[in-house]
Structure 1
Amino acid sequence: MIFFPLYDKIVVKKINLENKIGKIYIPTNDNEIIKGEVIEVGIGYLLNDGNIKPLIVKKKDNIIFKDNYNIEKYKINNIEYYFIKEKDIISIIK
């Protein structure tokens, strides 16, 4: 399946790994922090003057973000996809 996110939307595939990033332990709770791989990114923010500001995050970046009420989810073939905005990202993992 191919996604074409619009403007500042980002498509992320959930990575089901242990809840550690390097040596940092990520606790799981009701406000779960999720690790994912960026699959596709939109072209950027549409500014009031009509210009587009590109996104910082790029395709194939690994990120962590908080699963909250305004994030759309889609599951196909046991793979979870999240449709988020860049502002929902906590960090890019290098």
Structure 2
Amino acid sequence: MDFIPLYDKIVVIKLDEENKIGSIYIPKNENNILKGKIIKIGCGKLLENGVLKPLIVNIGDIIIFKDSYNIEKYKVNEKEYFFLKENDIISIIK
């Protein structure tokens, strides 16, 4: 299955790795903060004046984001996909 996200939507798969970034541990279940990898991005955010603003994130970026009520989820063959907007991302991990 291939997803084609529209505008500022981003498709992310959760990374089931140890919740650690360098030497910092990300708390599990306490704050619902997840680590994921971006697999698809839309073309950009459509501004009120009709201009399309490109997204800051790129395919392949590793991110952390909060699993909240406004993030859509879709499960296919035991793999869970998260559909979020760029402003749902807490940080890009380099």
Task: Work out whether the TM-score is over 0.5.
Answer: yes
Residue 84 (structure 1) shift: 0.2
Identify the residue that residue 53 of structure 1 maps to in structure 2: 53
Q: CA RMSD in A?
A: 0.9
Identify the residue that residue 36 of structure 2 maps to in structure 1: 36
Contact 1:31 1:68 in 2 (8 A): no
Identify the residue that residue 22 of structure 1 maps to in structure 2: 22
Q: Distance in 2 between matches of 1:3 and 1:9?
A: 11
Give the percent of matched residue pairs that are identical in Structure 1 and Structure 2: 66
Gaps of 5+ in 2: none
How many residue pairs align between the two structures?
94
Could you state the TM-score of these two structures normalised by the residue count of structure 2? 0.95
* 1:5 has 2:5 as partner: yes
Q: Cα deviation per residue 1:49-91 (whole Å; 9 max; x = unaligned)? A: 1110000000010100000000000111111100000000011
Q: Distance in 2 between matches of 1:84 and 1:63?
A: 12
The runs of at least 4 aligned residues of structure 1 exceeding 6 Å deviation read: none
Letter in 2 for 1:9: K
Question: What are the within-5 Å matches in structure 2 for residues 74-93 of structure 1?
Answer: 74-93=74-93
Q: Distance in 1 between matches of 2:31 and 2:74?
A: 19
